[in-house]
């Protein structure tokens, strides 16, 4: 993989494999596409594989921050609907709970 074109082809094939590893994971496909946009832009501008890897690393760190933030917000919303805030009553003849 000494040529930039070889590296770019390797990255395209890798992205394709990752995106199709879980075909129903739409978010995964979107993020693979976004990562490949970075790869393509950097490759066209002549960046080395090391520079491209650094850009992808920064992109990944930002995704982690955004994901953690989204999960915290969902947790805060779920907390408002927790069994403590919304009691569940068990029906006598059923093991299925129903909201009080």
Helices (H), the chain: 4-21, 26-44, 49-80
Mean pLDDT (the chain, rounded): 82
Q: Is the pLDDT of residue 53 over 90?
A: yes
Whole-model pTM above 0.85? no
The Cα–Cα gap between 3 and 11 comes to 13
Quick check: 91 pLDDT over 90? Answer: no
C-alpha to C-alpha distance for 22 and 27, rounded to whole angstroms: 10
Residue with tokens 């947790």: 75
């Amino acid at each position: 993989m000494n040529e930039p074109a070889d590296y770019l082809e390797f990255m395209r094939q890798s992205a394709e494999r990752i995106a199709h590893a879980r075909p129903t994971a739409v978010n995964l496909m979107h993020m693979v596409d976004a990562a490949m946009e970075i790869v393509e832009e950097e490759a066209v501008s002549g960046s080395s594989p090391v520079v491209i890897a650094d850009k992808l690393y920064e992109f990944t760190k930002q995704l982690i921050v955004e994901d953690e933030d989204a999960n915290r917000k969902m947790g805060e919303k779920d907390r408002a609907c927790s069994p403590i805030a919304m009691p569940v009553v068990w029906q006598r003849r059923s093991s299925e709970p129903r909201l009080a």
